[in-house]
Amino acid sequence: MKKILLTCLIFIIGVTGQLHAQEESEKEVKYGQITELPRQDDAMKKWRSNRFGQFIHWGLYAIPGGVWKGKTYEYAAEFLKSSAGISTATWDSLQYQFNPIKFNAMAWAKMAKAMGVKYATITTKHHEGFCLWPSEYTDFDIENTPYGKDLLGEFIEAYNAEGIDVSLYYSVLDWHHPDWRYKLNSEEDKEAFERLKIFTKNQLLELLDRYPTVKGLWFDGTWDQCWKDNGQFSYELEKKLKEKHPGLVVNSRMRADEYGSRHFDSNGVLMGDYESGYERRLPNPWDIEVTKNDWECCMTIPENQWGYHKDWTLTHIKTANELIEMLVQCTSQNGNFLLNFGPTGEGDFREEEVKLAKEIGDWMDDNSSAIYNCGYAGLKKQGWGYFTQNNDSETTINMVVFNKPINGKYRVKLNKGSVIKKAYLLSKPDKALDLEEISNGEYFIEAKKVKTKDPFVIIIELENKDSKKFHQKALT
């Protein structure tokens, strides 16, 4: 009897201690998450079903393209101003050279459509501070260039005409603006930054006023202490923007809470509407935790070039199949894939980008049913590739294959109780593949005669409703 009492006492002390520790670690966060996640409104469901987007980094940095006074700087071309130690006055004078005579918004939009993207995110203003739209809050904008016209408006109209949603990238960090401060070390700094905050808010409201069809805002340049010290401001700004533009989708980079915690608040709660920390990297493909939130990976084709760089021989250039695998992995883990293109100063794309867009588009033509409106299938990833599942189906599962097993037999471990009715190649729906049941819900699917050297899709149709919902609240 004494032993039981002692055990109970130890248990109670342990649990109380844990609860106390948890309460201790939980902070009171006033300026954290605004919208309960995952959002289930139509705008977010459309964002989620899009899966594949085109990122466009375009600004004055496209003119020198990583080369200054005959010297090539290997770092990211949009950072040439700092890489080459160029004065703001000299850099800003590039504005008077910006005349992208080859820019054809409709041609860009048709290339994007053929590639298979459902959305595009374009830099309205990168860190240099130059605005691709005629802003009433600065002369450092497209209106004061030889081009002169509303380039951003042309882009949005052309992409929307092709059925592609447009989101706007906006850098809070602004090298041009005299009131930008990295840290607020003095009263003067604080007064200056208050002016910068008003400027930022005015420009964002201006963008939403001018371009009512945009679907989202993609914030960047929010890593400095000045912004981290302004959690209440970014909280109230997100609320204001969302009140003004119902359905607006905002990335997690916009926010810091009142303790300076970014992306996730000080209690680990995601801010914004989706996590946008996966930049030029992907999660572990076996990671299930990541499937619980909406998220997006933004990716460059070279190792680290967002803006146009004249020399692409400096690093590895990703192949179409590498990029397709990243898109499929994102989809398999409930994420979106935003692939970056850096147009030249004249307004066209380098031939490598055009070629990749075509190759990816050719694959999407045959296989996009495993991408659009698809997500995590609630199944453990296997060595041959990735499972995806259409959010509107519980009995059809996609297997996107990147690694053919030497015996031509694909092991699939479904949820207990799942029974395969039939399996077939997406490219040959009338030819059922041989099945061998290994155990409850585990099978070999035999596909020995697949000749293609590209990734391909096997479709599994189940007898019964799939039980993926047991794993997680579906993000549909």
Q: Helix, strand, coil: what percent of the chain each, to 5? A: 35, 20, 45
Nearest-5° Cα angle at 181, 177 to 182: 130
Alpha helices in 313-396 (DSSP H): 320-332, 351-367
CA-CA distance, 448 to 431, in Å (whole number)? 13
Place of tokens 């459902």: 118
Return the residues of window 447-476 that contact ligand FHN according to CB under 6 A.
none
Task: Assess 306 for contact with ligand FHN (CB under 6 A).
Answer: yes
Select 306 or 387, whichever has its Cβ closest to ligand FHN: 306
Two tokens, residue 286? 């076996």
Interface with ligand FHN includes 76 (CB under 6 A)? Answer: yes
Q: Does 298 bind ligand FHN (CB under 6 A)?
A: yes
Smallest gap from residue 77 Cβ to ligand FHN (A): 9
CB of 469 to ligand FHN, least distance (A): 33
Alpha helices in 84-162 (DSSP H): 88-92, 105-115, 151-161
Nearer to ligand FHN, 78 or 353 (CB): 78
Tell me how far, at minimum, the Cβ of 305 lies from ligand FHN, in Å: 9
Q: Which candidate, 394, 286, 300, places its Cα nearest to that of 333?
A: 286
DSSP state of 251: B
Q: Does 275 bind ligand FHN (CB under 6 A)?
A: no
Contact predicate 52/121, CB 8 Å: no
- 180 is an interface residue for ligand FHN by CB under 6 A: no
Residue 295's H or E segment, with its range, is strand 295-299
Task: State the nearest-atom distance from the C-beta of 428 to ligand FHN, in Å.
Answer: 40
* Contact flag: residue 80 with ligand FHN (CB under 6 A): no
Q: Which tokens belong to 92?
A: 């800003």
Interatomic CA distance for residues 425 and 434, integer angstroms = 11
Least distance between ligand FHN and beta carbon 253 (Å): 8
Going by C-beta distance under 8 Å and a sequence separation of 6 or more, which residues neighbour residue 40? Answer: none
Work out how close the CB of 76 gets to ligand FHN at its nearest, in angstroms, rounded to a whole number. Answer: 6
Examine residue 220 and tell whether it contacts ligand FHN (CB under 6 A): yes
Output 122 or 425, the one with its CB closest to ligand FHN: 122
Asked whether position 77 contacts ligand FHN by CB under 6 A, the answer is: no
Answer yes or no: are the C-beta atoms of 128 and 91 closer than 8 Å.
yes
Position among 78, 92, 273, 296 found at the interface with ligand FHN (CB under 6 A): 78
Select 61 or 363, whichever has its Cβ closest to ligand FHN: 61
Q: Which residue is nearest to ligand FHN (CB)?
A: 306
Q: Which is nearer to ligand FHN, 236 or 279 (CB)?
A: 279
Q: Cis ω on the peptide bond leading into residue 38 (within 30° of 0)?
A: yes
Site string for ligand FHN, 49-68 (x = CB under 6 A): --------------------
Closest approach, Cβ 304 to ligand FHN, in A, equals: 9
Q: Which is nearer to ligand FHN, 119 or 306 (CB)?
A: 306
Nearer to ligand FHN, 133 or 218 (CB): 218
Beta carbon nearer to ligand FHN, 260 or 417: 260
Confirm or reject binding of residue 330 to ligand FHN (CB under 6 A): no
Helix axes 351-367, 320-332, angle to 10 degrees: 50
> Cβ closer to ligand FHN: 279 or 366?
279
Q: Are 443 and 342 in contact (CB under 8 A)?
A: no
Binding string, residues 381-420; x marks residues near ligand FHN by CB under 6 A: ----------------------------------------
* Number of residues near ligand FHN (by CB under 6 A): 6
Q: Which amino acid is at 202?
A: N
Considering only residues 308 to 327 of the shown chain, the ones binding ligand FHN according to CB under 6 A are none
CB of 79 to ligand FHN, least distance (A): 7
Q: Do 439 and 404 meet the contact criterion of CB atoms below 8 Å apart?
A: no
User: Residues near 1 by Cβ (< 8 Å), separated by ≥ 6?
Assistant: none
279 binds ligand FHN (CB under 6 A): yes
Does 301 bind ligand FHN (CB under 6 A)? Our answer is no
Q: How far apart are CA 31 and CA 14, in angstroms?
A: 32
Pick between residue 37 and residue 173 the one whose CB is nearest to ligand FHN. 173
Q: Are strands 165-171 and 216-220 parallel, antiparallel or unpaired?
A: parallel
Residue type at 254? M
Residue labelled with tokens 């039939």: 422
* Cβ-contact 150, 199 below 8 angstroms: no
Residues that bind ligand FHN (CB under 6 A): 76, 78, 220, 279, 298, 306
